[in-house]
Structure 1
Amino acid sequence: MTTLGHRPTQAVDTPAEAATPRVGTAANRVLAVLRIAFGLTFLWAFVDKVFGLGYATPSGKGWIDGGDPTAGFLGKGTSGPFADFYQSLVGDFWVTPLFMIGLAGIGLALTLGIGMRIAAVSGALLYLMMWTAALPPENNPVLDDHILGAITLVALALLAAGKTWGFGRWWSRLSMVQRHPWLQ
């Protein structure tokens, strides 16, 4: 019971906590599962392309075997108004390493819940590039899974999904991350 003129005190959030969106426990857990699932999708693509496990990358054609994980898609899988641009990238020395680093980095960041802003921006960019490489989409004149993936990654970062079942809280407390908030 409060007396006249007395107001209960409220806990004061730190600046990082104050900037974190508030979502219920169940929603945080669903977002964490979604984040981890997307992270593992990127990591799986990386592992399959490195070792040629016979799924998206044929056996014996992995990067470790001397194969080029980007050449097939860029050379034969592109269509639409940007096809010539993407086809011109086949064989450029920087394309495959950058793509593979991107898959691994985005996958690790999402799976671990760290660097969510960087993962969201780079993952969304990768998704949008893959969308433009095969325009128009097969089943819808505008939308496909690449656009939905890009939107999802941005939402996961904005909702601080790395802080539930991930290392996001620990990551955000690092002095380097506090000095450079874009690393969150």
Structure 2
Amino acid sequence: MNATTQTEAVRGSTTTRTNRHDVEGITHMEDVVRNPIARWALVGLRYVLGFTFLWPFLDKLFGLGYGTPAENAWIDGGSPTTGFLTKNPAVVDGPFAGFFANFAGGIWDFLFMFSLLGIGVAFLTGAVLKIAAWGGALLMTLMYFAEFPLGRDGEGFTNPIFDSHWIEALALIVLAYTFSGDKLGLGRWWSRIVGSDSILR
């Protein structure tokens, strides 16, 4: 194949992709992430983050003994938010302890658990990623300020400003806006229902 033929083939491929995009009106993962290794890496990250949110939901719901003892299981009357906001030294010793203590127990248990479940399921299935990503970013922001390192003695901190909450929040946004749910997920099917630019995607 000579240079002219290769150029025409590339143009034809680009035209096909553009025409498909114009006809469907839907942007897919391969339109914004060209490298196949990068696409697989994003899918792997999507699954890891999805399970990162789903696991604490299950642990707190059933008291699996990892972060939540069996006697504190939510199904047995435990409070998922009370333990974190009123007994966790990282929160209690923080500068905003008094503020966040107001969010312990009651309706906040339901909102917190629903958030963990919704974000986890969304990223594992690859649908409703934008809402889940922004919701997850908000949750990570609140948890960051609940354990705010500045103003504390610094014990156990290697970085007084950035921690894993920032990484997870930004990763959620990146995964949503690179349409990572299209690969090994329900993203393509869901995008045909709600449209490419919908916040519901």
Note whether the superposition's TM-score is higher than 0.5: yes
Structure 1 range deviating more: 79-88 or 64-73: 79-88
Preserved contact between residue 56 and residue 116 of structure 2 (Cα < 8 Å) = yes
Q: 1:88 corresponds to which letter in structure 2? A: N
Distance of aligned partners of 1:82 and 1:23 in 2 relative to their CA distance in 1, 3 Å threshold:
farther
* Cα separation, 1, equivalents of 2:198 and 2:112: 25
Q: 1:161 aligns with which of 173, 180, 185?
A: 180
Alpha-carbon distance between aligned partners in 1 of 2:98 and 2:158, rounded to the nearest angstrom: 23
Residue 16 (structure 1) aligned with residue 26 (structure 2): yes
**Structure 1 vs Structure 2: percent identity of aligned residues?**
42
1:69 matched to 2:80: yes
Structure 1 residue 76, shift from structure 2 partner: 2.1
Name the aligned partner's letter for residue 165 of structure 2.
Answer: H
Q: Which structure is higher in helix share?
A: 2
Corresponding position of 1:80 = 94
| TM-score normalised per structure 1 | 0.89
Instruction: State the TM-score, normalized to the length of structure 2.
Output: 0.82
Superposed, which structure 2 residues align to 1:122-133 within 5 Å?
A: 122-133=135-146
Which contiguous aligned blocks of 4+ residues in structure 1 show a shift greater than 4 angstroms?
Answer: 6-9
Matched, 1:171 2:190: yes
The alignment yields a C-alpha RMSD, in angstroms, of 2.2
- Give SS of 2:172's match: helix
State the Cα distance separating 1:22 from its structure 2 match.
Answer: 3.1
* Deviation string, structure 1 residues 99-151 (Cα, Å, up to 9, x no partner): 00000000000000001101110011111111000111722110111111101
Corresponding position: 1:121 with 2:134: yes
Residues 27-66 of structure 1 aligned to structure 2 (within 5 Å): 27-66=38-77
From 94, 104, 112, give the equivalent of 2:107.
94
State the one-letter code of the partner of 2:139. Answer: L
Unpaired runs of 5+ in structure 1?
none
In the TM superposition, what is the alpha-carbon distance from 1:98 to its structure 2 partner?
0.3
In structure 2, distance between residues paired with 1:81 and 1:23:
45
Say if 2:25 and 2:196, in contact at 8 Å, map to a contact too: no
Aligned-partner SS, 1:103: helix
Letter in 2 for 1:152: A
Q: Distance in 2 between matches of 1:105 and 1:180?
A: 21
Inter-partner Cα distance in structure 2 for 1:16 and 1:179: 4
Residue in structure 1 matched with residue 200 of structure 2 by the alignment: 183
SS at match of 1:182: coil
CA contact (8 A) 2:26 2:196 kept: no
- Deviation of 1:90 after TM superposition, in Å, equals 2.0
Q: Is the 8 A contact 2:54 2:121 kept in 1?
A: yes
